[in-house]
Amino acid sequence: MAGKFEVYKDSAGGFRFRLKAGNGEVIATGESYTTKSAALKGIESVKTNAGSDVVDLTSS
């Protein structure tokens, strides 16, 4: 089963998203947005940038 994004309201009334793997494990979460539209744009940004290079900042 493929992963999925879920949009939900947090306890403060903001809109958030989470990315769940196919096994149901949450593997990423978004910040709180004031509108659902902004949360959906956040999802689109993650999808667009998912193929970006990994930069290891822990190396000396």
Query: What phi and psi, each to the nearest 5 degrees, are found at residue 12?
Result: -95, 0
pLDDT for res 60: 67
The overall average pLDDT reported for the chain is 96
pTM for the full predicted model:
0.85
Residue 8 pLDDT class (50, 70, 90 cuts)? very high
State whether the Cα torsion 57-25-13-41 is positive or negative: positive
Q: In Å, what is the CA distance from 26 to each residue of 14, 57, 58, 59?
A: 19, 24, 24, 27
pLDDT for res 28: 97
- Average pLDDT score over residue span 5-29: 98
Q: Answer yes or no: are the C-beta atoms of 14 and 34 closer than 8 Å.
A: yes
What would the pLDDT profile of 29-53 be if each residue is shown by its tens digit?
Answer: 999 999 999 999 999 999 999 999 9
